[in-house]
Each structure stands twice: as structure tokens, then as C-alpha cells.
Amino acid sequence: MANNALFVFVFLVAVVASALAVFFAMIVHEHDETGEKSTSNKAVQYVCPPTDFKETCEKSLASSNSSDPKVLITTGFQAMIMEIKKVLADSKTLQDALSVCKEVLDYAIDDLEASFNKLGVYDISKIGDILLRIQATVYNEKVDIPKGANNVMFIRDGPTKTIITNNISVVKNKITTFHTATVAGNAMNFIAKDIGIEKTTGYEGEQAVALRASGDLGVFYNCHFNGYQDTLYPQKEMQFFRDCVITSTIDIIFGDSRVVFQNCQMIVRKPGPRQNCMVIAQGKQFDKSRGGFVLHNCTISGDKDYIPVKNVNKAYLNRPWKPLATVIIIQSNIADIFTPEGYIPMHPGMGEATSYFVEFGNRGPGSKTDGRVKWAGIKQVDLNTAKTFTPGAFLQSNTRIPNTGVPCTPDRIPGL
């Protein structure tokens, strides 16, 4: 159901963009002798190739029998409306998902004042951009950095001294995963240093996000993200995490940002009964997406309470959340807590052939790859390809990161 709605929006955008080109394309082609029907077919053929669902696009527009861009756009809108009405009638989950889409689109600068009023308990001093010096204590809060509130920095004395926390979750509060975030960074250039962000929901709360990073060029340094399920959500755009610790159980890190984790620790904690643990659930769905997760010189291990149950509550490095899931683990230390297979599908067969998973130059007892599942999506790459996933190449970190004051090693680390 949700995939149907996502198609509708992707299809509509492509129709609006492409239909405008139809007029110009058609005037340089002579009319076919077979008449308007052939011209209509040609117009549809011009409109639909850029879409991610070409056959469905052609089927939806075929009824228009017109080469007029206005008619094609109208037909596209009508198809969209009919599809939305159909799936909305059957799916409460989809209604919630569309509500999230609307909220993302409706973020406005007008919310900035209200957001800062919400942050009024903090000791704020302004130096150049918006610098929030948060007092060293535990805050039971839900913090939103709205779209348009760019260049905000959270900084304090350490991730175990300054902690932002709450226990909002999908199960407890009957809301979507998107809305559960303890801290939601929706603006560009959001930076957090020396901060702890957590969820205290427990495994019973199911999905409960500590941080959702949705704005471009987010940078996080020496931060701790603690939770139980869906703890860290790099949702979209570019992000960089350095010297951070992420502790969780199921889908510890998920989303579709273009993100590098460098010198970070991913720690699997003890889950609930009959639960298994997955470190990464990457969500790349379309070819045009630039999303992908890179773990560079990270340590992936288990909490002391998890070790005794690792043979009962099994741990996996990856499971594809969407068909084109993209994850690269390079020069990292992998503990022996994981099953030899390393990977497990979220849904039977999905992503097994279409994902892009790479392990290169790793170390530790869990880094052996000879027992990995035999998926077509698990790739073997050479050194030159591996270099394209370092921060310098993947994020253009040489120009993007230095101004933040956060250390970054742009290339492979010699000797590892």
C-alpha cells in the first residue's frame, strides 16, 4: 500500500516535469500519417521514460488520447487522485504515512520562534551562527530543529553529562516512527558535539528514534545515541558522524542519507525475548537516490549483557530495508557476535539481488566473509573502488567538514 502511494508522488513529479518537454519535442517531429492516435502515443512515450514506473505511467496516460501537455498533466493528476482515494480507503497506515509527507513538505521558517521557545530551558549564547550551550544535566524533552533554522549547533561537556531523553514510541504514543525522534534535525548544517541523545522506551515500545537527521550537511561529533529499536535515523541528505557511539537492538541505524560513520562504535545490546538484532537497515529505493551508508574504521561489537545471549538472540550486520539498500563497511573492526551469514532479508527475497553490500579491508574475528550468504547484492571490489567510499570521495569532506571544527580523515587509513 505505502509503495503505491510513493509511486503516485514520484509519477506525478515526473509527469509535471516531462510533459512540459513534450510540446517542444513534438514540434520538431512531423505528424505521423496515421493521425492523432499515433501522435498521442508518441507524446506518452516522451513523458514516461524519466519515471521510475514507466509501464504504469504509459498505462495511466494512454486513456488521454492526446498529445497536449495540459491534457497529459490533467490525466496524471486524475490518476494520482484515484489511486490515493483507493489506497486511503483501505489503509490507516498509509493515512499516517501521507500525514508525515505533508509535515515534511510544510516545514516553515515561521516555526523557528516556537521551536526556540521550546528550548528556553537551555543556556543560549549566540556566537556568529546559532550556538546552543546546553547545561550539563538530563533533559526530558522532544526537540525539533525546523527546516530553515540553519547553522544551529548543540554543544556541551560530554555525552554522559548532557543528555536529551524521552520515552516516546510508536506503541506507547500511537504515532509514526518519523514522529518519535527525541531530537529531529530538519535544517541544514545542524551540528551536535559532546551530547547524549537517547530513548528510554525499552524493547516493548518497538520503534523509537533517538535522532532523526533530515537536513543537509549534518555533522555529529562525540555523541552517544542510545535506544532499543530504530535508534539512529539518518533519513536523507548528507550526514557525517565522527567518534560517536550508537547502542541499540533492532535496525540500530536505518534511513537513506548519504552518510559516513568514521571511528564510531555500533554496540548491540540485549533485545527482548525472541528478538534478533540488526545493525543496519538501509533504505535506498530508487536509482536516482544518492543514499548509502559507509562505516569507516568503526568498531561493531556487543554490550556485555548481550554476549551471553548471542546464540539465542542472533545478530546480523545488515538487512535491506528497501530493494537498493547500499552499505559499505571498510577498515572496521567487527567482533565475533554476528552469525557467519552476516545478512538477513527484511522481507523474503527483497534486496538479495539488487542491494549493494561491500565489506573491504576489515579486521576482527567477525570480519571473515567466507560464511556470508550468497546474494548477488554482496559485492567484491578492488582497492580503487573502495577508495570511492572514503569521506573525501563520498562526501567531498575536504570542502564540507573542516569549517565545522570536527576532525575527519578523508582517505583510507594507512596500516589498517
Catalytic residue among 251, 256, 287, 336: 251
Q: Find the farthest-apart pair of alpha carbons in the chain and give their distance in angstroms, rounded.
A: 78
Contact 283, 2 (CB under 8 A): no
Residue 230 known to be catalytic = yes
How many Cβ atoms sit within 10 Å of the Cβ of residue 1? 14
Catalytic residue among 194, 230, 243, 256: 230
Question: Which residues are registered as beta bridge partners of 144?
Answer: 184
Residue 287 known to be catalytic = no
CB within 8 Å of 327: residues ≥ 6 apart: 280, 282, 292, 293, 294, 295, 318, 355, 356, 357, 358
CB within 8 Å of 80: residues ≥ 6 apart: 8, 9, 11, 12
Q: What is the 3-state secondary structure (H, E, C) of the chain?
A: CHHHHHHHHHHHHHHHHHHHHHHHHHHCCCCCCCCHHHHHHHHHHHHCCCCCCHHHHHHHHHCCCCCCHHHHHHHHHHHHHHHHHHHHHHCHHHHHHHHHHHHHHHCCCCHHHHHHHHCCCCEECCECEEEEECCCCEEECCEEECCCCCCEEEECCCCCCCEEEECCCHHHHCCCHHHHCCEEECCCCCEEECCEEEECCCHHHCCCCCEEECCCCEEEECCEEECCECCEEECCCEEEEECCEEEECECCEEECCEEEEECCEEEECCCCCCCCEEEEEECCCCCCCCCEEEEECCEEEECCCCHHHCCCCCEEEECCCCCCCEEEEECCEECCCECCCCECCCCCCCCCCCCEEEEECCECHHHCCCCCCCCCCEECCCHHHHHCCCHHHHCCHHHHCHHHCCCCCCCCCCCC
Contact 369, 334 (CB under 8 A): no
Active site residues per annotation: 230, 251
